[in-house]
Amino acid sequence: MKRIVLSGCNGKMGRMIASCVKGRDDCTVVAGIDVSGEVLDAFPVFTSPAGCQVEADVIIDFSHPSALAPLLDYAAATRTPAVIATTGLSSDQVALIRETSARVPLFFTANMSLGVNLLVELAKKAAAVLGGQFDIEIIEKHHNQKIDAPSGTALMLADAISGVLPEEPQYVYDRHAVRRKRGKNEIGLHAVRGGTIVGEHEVIFAGRDEVLTLSHSAMSKEVFATGSINAALFLCGKENGLYSMGDLV
Ligand SMILES: NC(=O)C1=CN([C@@H]2O[C@H](COP(=O)(O)OP(=O)(O)OC[C@H]3O[C@@H](n4cnc5c(N)ncnc54)[C@H](OP(=O)(O)O)[C@@H]3O)[C@@H](O)[C@H]2O)C=CC1
Ligand SMILES: O=C(O)C1=N[C@H](C(=O)O)C[C@H](O)C1
d(CA 140, CA 150): 7
Q: Which residue from 200, 224, 244 has its CB within 8 A of the most atoms of ligand 2, so it is best to mutate? A: 224
CB 72 within 8 A of CB 56: no
Alpha helices of the chain — where are they, by DSSP H?
Answer: 12-22, 68-78, 91-100, 114-130, 152-162, 222-235, 245-248
11 Cα: distance to centroid of ligand 1 (angstroms) = 6
Residue nearest to atom 40 of ligand 1 (CA): 11
pLDDT at 3: 98
pLDDT of the chain, 249 residues: tens digit per residue? 999 999 999 999 999 999 999 999 999 999 999 999 999 999 999 999 999 999 999 999 999 999 999 999 999 999 999 999 999 999 999 999 999 999 999 999 999 999 999 999 999 999 999 999 999 999 999 999 999 999 999 999 999 999 999 999 999 998 988 889 999 999 999 999 999 999 999 999 999 999 999 999 999 999 999 999 999 999 999 999 999 999 998
CB 21 within 8 A of CB 45: no
Tell me the domain boundaries of the chain: 2-108+221-248, 114-218
111 Cα: distance to centroid of ligand 2 (angstroms) = 7
d(CA 192, CA 151): 10
133 Cα: distance to centroid of ligand 1 (angstroms) = 39
DSSP 85-107: ------HHHHHHHHHHTTTSEEE
Atom of ligand 2 nearest to the CA of 112: 10
Residues acting as catalytic residues: 142, 146
pLDDT at 178: 83
Distance of CA 78 to the CA centre of its chain: 24
CB 19 within 8 A of CB 72: no
pLDDT at 174: 82
- Other Cβ atoms less than 10 A from the Cβ of 48: the count is 15
- How high is the ipTM of this complex? 0.99
Q: Which residues line ligand 2 (CB under 6 A)?
A: 87, 110-111, 142, 146, 151-153, 199
| Ligand in nearest proximity to the CA of 228 | 1
Which residues fall in the annotated binding site?
8-13, 34, 85-87, 109-112, 143, 152-153
Q: Which residue from 7, 20, 46, 64 has its CB within 8 A of the most atoms of ligand 1, so it is best to mutate? A: 64
d(CA 132, CA 110): 26
Q: What is the CATH number of domain 114-218?
A: 3.30.360.10
Ligand 1 near 10 CB (within 6 A): yes
2-108+221-248: CATH topology: Rossmann fold (3.40.50)
Which residues fall in the annotated binding site for (S)-2,3,4,5-tetrahydrodipicolinate?
143, 152-153
114 Cα: distance to centroid of ligand 2 (angstroms) = 14
